[in-house]
Amino acid sequence: MYIHFIVGARPNFVKISSLIHAIKNYNQEKTVNFKLIHTGQHYDYNMNTIFFKELGIPQPDYFLNCGGGSQTTQISKIMLEYEKVLNVDLPQYCVVVGDVNSTVACAIVAKNFKIKVVHIEAGIRSGDTTMPEEVNRILTDSITDLFFTTTLKASNLLRNIGVESSKIHFVGNTMIDTLLRFKNDFRNPFENTERTSITEDKFLVLTLHRPSNVDNLQWLKSCLLEILDSTKNVNILFPVHPRTRKNLELTGIKSDRLILLEPLGYFEFNFLVGNSIGVITDSGGITEEATVLKIPCITLRNSTERPETVTTGTNVLIGSNLTLLRKYLAKILNNNWKESDIPQYWDGKTGDRIINILLEDVHEKK
Residue-range domain boundaries for the chain: 2-173+346-365, 189-333
Residues 252-271: tens digit of each pLDDT:
999 999 999 998 999 999 99
pTM over 0.85: yes
pLDDT over 60 (residue 29): no
Choose among 345, 343, 296: nearest CA to 316.
296
For the segment 206-255, what is each residue's pLDDT rounded down to a tens digit? 999 888 899 999 999 999 999 999 998 999 999 998 778 889 999 999 99
Among 30-34, 300-304, 356-360, the least confident range: 30-34
Nearest to 151 by CA among 112, 124, 120: 124
Is it the case that residue 365 has pLDDT exceeding 70? no
> How does the average pLDDT of the chain come out, rounded?
94
DSSP letters along 220-245, please? Answer: HHHHHHHHHHHSTT-EEEEE--HHHH
Q: Which of 21, 209, 241, 363 is catalytic?
A: 209
Strands (E), 8-59: 33-38
* Residues pairing with 38 in the sheet: 7, 63
Q: What is the pLDDT of residue 270?
A: 97
Domains 2-173+346-365 and 189-333 share a fold: yes
Residue 309's closest CA among 329, 327, 283?
A: 283
Amino acid residing at 273: V
CATH ID of 2-173+346-365, from 3.40.640.10, 3.30.565.10, 3.40.50.2300, 3.40.50.2000: 3.40.50.2000
CATH topology of domain 189-333: Rossmann fold (3.40.50)
- Look at residues 92, 87, 105, 90 and name the one whose alpha carbon lies nearest to residue 7: 105
209 is catalytic: yes
Determine what percent of the chain is predicted with pLDDT higher than 70.
Answer: 98
